[in-house]
Amino acid sequence: MPQQHDLEKMVLDTSAILSGRFDTSSPQFYVTSSILNEIEKGKISRYLKMAETSMNVIDPDSSSVAKVVEAARSSGDIDRLSNTDIEAVALALQLGAVLVTDDYSMQNTSRILGIKSTGASIKEIGKVIEWIYRCTGCGRIYEKNTGTCAICGHALKNYPRSTRKIHEGPGKKPNSR
Ligand SMILES: [Zn+2]
């Protein structure tokens, strides 16, 4: 039996999917049906195909949606959030997942609810994703992309292991005083 590795659940919003930064064939990714609809309407079939074949499509329960609406009302973000946005935040809440979005109001609402969020354009918010590589055959995890599995010869795919904070931008020296 291959060793179980915990891959963090991540809810991807439309911008995150379209960023192309995420290998949506990984089982760790979740979307709502309305996010899929948005992508469908954009006729970005390449992404739709990836989404259809791989991501988990779940719509949040009504109590999670209600909590998000309440938090967004209290913060004043509610007017800047579409139903699709609210559902994405609610799904992250429900699943205990990381929300991946570039939308500031979604990030802010997530923060209020204790949901971890990260930007699709990672650089902007000072976080990076550490990638690991997993064999599509036996599931063995590799730190480096060696292309194929040394054990069974299947192709490796990349997965984000986790997010971690990095220092702001290049050139800025943190903690130098
Ligand atoms: Zn293998």
Residue intervals of the chain classified under CATH 2.20.28 are 126-165
Give the Å distance between the CA of 136 and the centre of ligand 1. 7
- From the CB of residue 55, how many other CB atoms can be counted at a distance below 10 Å? 23
Whole-model pTM over 0.75 = no
| CA of residue 170 to ligand 1 center, whole Å | 37
- 102 C-alpha vs ligand 1 centroid, how far in Å? 35
CA of 11 to the centre of ligand 1 (A): 27
Mean pLDDT of 62-73: 96
Which residues lie near ion ligand 1 (Cβ < 5 Å)?
135, 137-138, 140, 149, 151-152, 154
Q: Whole-angstrom Cα distance, residue 14 to residue 127?
A: 19
Contact 29, 54 (CB under 8 A): yes
To which residue do tokens 């259809």 refer?
52
Q: For the ranges 7-16, 76-85, 163-172, which has the lowest average pLDDT?
A: 163-172
Give residue 176's pLDDT: 42
Task: Enumerate the CATH 3.40.50.1010 domain ranges in the chain, comma separated.
Answer: 10-123
CB atoms within 10 A of CB 173: 8
Q: Band the pLDDT of 128: cuts 50, 70, 90.
A: very low
Tokens of 88: 């994405």
Q: Which fold has domain 126-165?
A: Rubrerythrin, domain 2 (2.20.28)
Helix (H) or strand (E) holding 129: strand 127-135
Segment 133-154, tens digit of pLDDT: 889 899 898 888 888 999 999 9
With beta carbons less than 8 A apart as the criterion, state whether 36 and 84 touch. Answer: no
For the domain 10-123, what is the CATH code? Answer: 3.40.50.1010
